[in-house]
């Protein structure tokens, strides 16, 4: 991670096919595009790789989450449960449809704690949105059982975890819908882009229409298409889709590189005592884009992260005080700071959470360091990095004999 590290001939070949036609829009212009339909090709390739019936390409991962919520007809006043650790796009998507993001504690998987989720379910809850942060997954079996018990939707935010799996199913395919990001720093990239996958034909139809101003895409004259309901513009371009098409074909190669580099670093860190590794739910396989571990306390974790940076080890994240990924810096959400007026239900729903105690999340995030696993490292680079990380961490712990 990220896929841009290995841009090459395949990406250039697919984008040049589009540039030769001059048709950058995914819809229409049939006579000019010379048979090139890159968005359709990537949707087919993604659906096949994820083992689902449908895939809808979109302009971003945020768009994918937004469209997924709308496809499930979630809107004004509805509540969507999400974790305290994620990227801000998760709650931005919820707010964009008029729904209320309900923050819930994480556990040692760095994802939603099923017990905390159960306690947060109310009569207004419509969906649970687990976020598979840093390449690993939530306990989807437990969350799926809660959804079935309470008649809720399970919408997987798999934007950071493409290629991982749970109980033999690719992440994103376990719930009612799964969402991916293909922005510039994801395991595979379109430059900018995202996707929604599902086995539900109604959700796919909703996503298809909603993401293109409500066009029903019936017939071959775009101007005569009907609009059965309101929609917005969340389309991806053919040029972005062409890059993604090349990258999805390389996904398994990327995953193999990530796993190899991850394993080298993990093997070194396993020699260091008094650290523990992120819990992966039974039946889960990470996509190995990050290696996450816990130190004994918050002060130690912060000190180690600083020393790793000083030692030239980039890509070591201390999420606890990160501006974008942890609730403690989401004052714009918790104080409902918006350029436009938010609905009263949303303001009230957010306001109730300002005094919530997320001590369990603080315990895990405060002690966590996540190491980004890159694709472009040479064998010498990854070995040196592994040794440096282990040396820095071991200064603050006791090494095994």
**280: its two tokens:** 């992966």
Residue 126 near residue 105 (C-beta atoms within 8 A): no
In sequence order, what are the beta bridge partners of 147?
none
Select which of 17, 38, 53, 186 is catalytic.
186
Active-site annotation holds for 186: yes
How many Cβ atoms sit within 10 Å of the Cβ of residue 279?
17
Q: How far apart are CA 276 and CA 288, in angstroms?
A: 17
SS3 state of residue 58: strand
Q: How far apart are CA 51 and CA 247, in angstroms?
A: 18
Residue 290 near residue 369 (C-beta atoms within 8 A): no
DSSP track, 142-163: HHHHHHHHHT-EEEEE-TT-TT
Residue 375 near residue 2 (C-beta atoms within 8 A): yes
In sequence order, what are the beta bridge partners of 117?
none
Q: At what angle do helices 38-50 and 238-248 cross, to 10 degrees?
A: 30
Residue 243 near residue 190 (C-beta atoms within 8 A): yes
CA 167 vs. chain centroid, Å, equals 19
Place of tokens 């396993």: 270
Residue 242 near residue 14 (C-beta atoms within 8 A): yes
Residues labelled catalytic: 186
């Amino acid at each position: 991670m990220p896929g841009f590290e290995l841009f090459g001939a395949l990406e250039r070949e697919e984008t040049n096919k589009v540039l030769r036609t001059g048709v950058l829009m995914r819809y229409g212009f049939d006579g000019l595009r010379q048979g090139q339909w890159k968005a359709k090709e990537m949707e087919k390739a993604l659906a096949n790789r994820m083992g689902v019936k449908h895939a809808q390409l979109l302009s971003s991962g945020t768009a994918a989450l937004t469209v997924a919520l709308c496809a499930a007809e979630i809107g004004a006043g509805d509540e969507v449960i999400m974790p305290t650790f994620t990227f801000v796009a998760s709650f931005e998507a919820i707010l964009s449809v008029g729904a209320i993001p309900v923050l819930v504690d994480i556990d040692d998987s760095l994802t939603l704690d099923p017990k905390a989720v159960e306690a947060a379910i109310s009569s207004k809850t419509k969906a649970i949105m687990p976020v598979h942060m840093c390449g690993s997954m939530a306990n989807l079996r437990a969350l799926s059982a809660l959804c079935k018990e309470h008649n809720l939707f399970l919408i997987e935010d798999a934007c950071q975890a493409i290629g991982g799996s749970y109980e033999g199913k690719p992440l994103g395919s376990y719930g009612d819908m799964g969402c991916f990001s293909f922005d510039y720093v994801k395991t595979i990239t379109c430059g900018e882009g995202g996707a929604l996958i599902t086995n539900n034909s109604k959700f796919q139809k909703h996503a298809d229409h909603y993401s293109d101003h409500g066009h029903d895409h019936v017939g071959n004259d775009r101007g005569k298409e009907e609009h059965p309901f309101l929609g917005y513009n969340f389309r991806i371009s053919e040029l972005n889709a062409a890059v993604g098409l090349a990258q999805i074909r390389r996904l398994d190669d990327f995953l193999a590189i990530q796993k190899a580099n991850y394993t080298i670093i993990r093997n070194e860190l396993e020699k260091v005592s008094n650290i523990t590794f992120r819990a992966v739910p039974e039946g889960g396989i990470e996509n190995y884009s990050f290696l996450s571990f816990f130190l004994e306390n918050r002060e130690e974790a912060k000190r180690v992260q600083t020393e790793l940076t000083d030692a030239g080890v980039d890509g070591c994240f201390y999420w606890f005080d990160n501006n974008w990924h942890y609730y403690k810096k989401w004052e714009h959400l918790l104080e409902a700071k918006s350029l436009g007026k938010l609905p009263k239900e949303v303001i009230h729903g957010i306001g109730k959470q300002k005094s919530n105690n997320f001590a369990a999340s603080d315990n895990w995030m405060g002690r966590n360091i996540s190491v980004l696993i890159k694709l472009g490292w040479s064998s010498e680079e990854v070995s040196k990095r592994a040794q440096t990380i282990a040396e820095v961490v071991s200064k603050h712990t006791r090494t095994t004999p």
